[in-house]
Structures are given as structure tokens and as C-alpha cells.
Amino acid sequence: MKGVRTREGTLEAGPEGGRIVDEAAVITRVRAGEPEAYAELVRAHTHVALRAAVAFGAGADAEDVVQSAFLKAYQALGRFRDGAAFRPWLLRIVVNETRNTVRSAVRLRALAGREALLIGSEPLIPESADPAVAALAEERRTVLLAALEELSEEQRQVVTYRYLLEMDEAETAEALGWPRGTVKSRLNRALAKLGQLIPGKGGEEHE
């Protein structure tokens, strides 16, 4: 991914990143006039931000969307609520930027974008593996993607945050701006519907 450019320079991001031990301390440093510290946040969250952009339909524009989202987050850091988690706040900006950037193409790109996300999050099947196993895995992925398209927008959002982006319930609630009870109820309804849509999953109960 490209670096995030501010008026002070360009902030470079690593390909994968990782969690920062004390994000609050990093944010304090940035607010205190140390903009280069923001690169630590960029490195830590680039990977999940790209996954979110792809999951919500950015497609080939994902890197540009994330670049813009990091810049907007930097510009808005003065309004960031002390004690809040940075990742859900950032992902809300990423998702909003995705929608603003590709609004007219979101529905057309959604299926291909989520397929790319799912492929990237699964172990690759070795070439020596049984072809029947590979075919079955591909068939299941296709069925899942088709089933996701049958969900409402809110149901797709909560499933994407909770499972494709691997966020816990609290982070999902923060990212979506919903109460945790709403996340749980909508997730349960989404999983129930997926259970009806995916062969062999009907009738399963979800906590």
C-alpha cells in the first residue's frame, strides 16, 4: 500500500501490520505534534482496512480508498474519543469512504470483492490435493457468496464485520454504531437466514 501523505510528509505502511500495545499513547503523541507517530497506526491497521474496503465493494480501488480513509482519520484525530478503540473507528471511516468512492458500483463489485476476501483468508489448497476436495471447497465458497447476496444490507454488514473481518461483538457494535444487543439480534437473524439458504445448514441453531 502507498504511504499516507500529510502536510508533514508521507507515512509509510507495512504490508501486514499488527496490534499496537498502547494505541492511546501513540494518539497522544500525534496530537502533541509528533505526526510521524501516526505511521505506527497505519502499519498496525492497514491489513484489516484493506480487507474491509474489499469486503464492502471497493475492488481494485481498495488501496486508494484506504489511503483516503487513513488521511481522513488523521485529520479527524483531534475529535477521536479518548478511551475508545481505534480500529472500529477507523473501519467506520473506511466503509464510509468505500461507499462514497464506489457508490454507483458497489452492488456490481460486491460479489467479486467478497470472493477475493474469502479466497485471501483461507488456506490455499496444495496442487497435490485431491481435485474433488478443491472442487468442493470452491463450490462451498460460491454457495456462501450467493447466500450473502440474499441478506439485507444490515445483515451483510454485521456478518462481514463479525466473521470476515474477525471482529468481536464489542468491536462490531462500535464499528457499526449499534448497541451490542442490536448486533447480536441482527447477527442471529442473518445466521438463521444463511442456515436456510446454504444446503446442509438448515435448522442449525446459533448462539
**How confident is the model at residue 189, as a pLDDT?**
94
CATH architecture of structural domain 1-110: Orthogonal Bundle (1.10)
**How confident is the model at residue 135, as a pLDDT?**
61
**How confident is the model at residue 143, as a pLDDT?**
79
CA-CA distance, 171 to 162, in Å (whole number)?
8
Residue 189: CB atoms within 10 A of its CB come to 16
**How confident is the model at residue 21, as a pLDDT?**
62
CA-CA distance, 58 to 103, in Å (whole number)?
9
CA-CA distance, 72 to 5, in Å (whole number)?
11
**How confident is the model at residue 1, as a pLDDT?**
56
- Looking up cell 464492502, which residue turns up? 56
Task: Convert 127-154 to b/e letters by CB count within 10 Å (16 or more is b).
Answer: eeeeeeeeeeeeeeeeebbebbeebeee
Q: What phi, psi does 6 have (nearest 5°)?
A: -120, 180
Half-sphere exposure at residue 104, Cβ-oriented, CA atoms within 13 angstroms: 0
CA-CA distance, 132 to 48, in Å (whole number)?
32
Q: What is the dihedral of CA 174, 175, 176, 179, to 10 degrees?
A: -10
Point out the residues of the chain with pLDDT beneath 50.
6-17, 106, 122-129, 203-207
**How confident is the model at residue 2, as a pLDDT?**
52
- Domain segments of the chain as ranges: 1-110, 122-207
CA distances from 105 to 69, 100, 109, 149, 151 (A): 19, 10, 6, 15, 18
**How confident is the model at residue 122, as a pLDDT?**
47
Which fold, 122-207? Arc Repressor Mutant, subunit A (1.10.10)
Contact 81, 88 (CB under 8 A): no
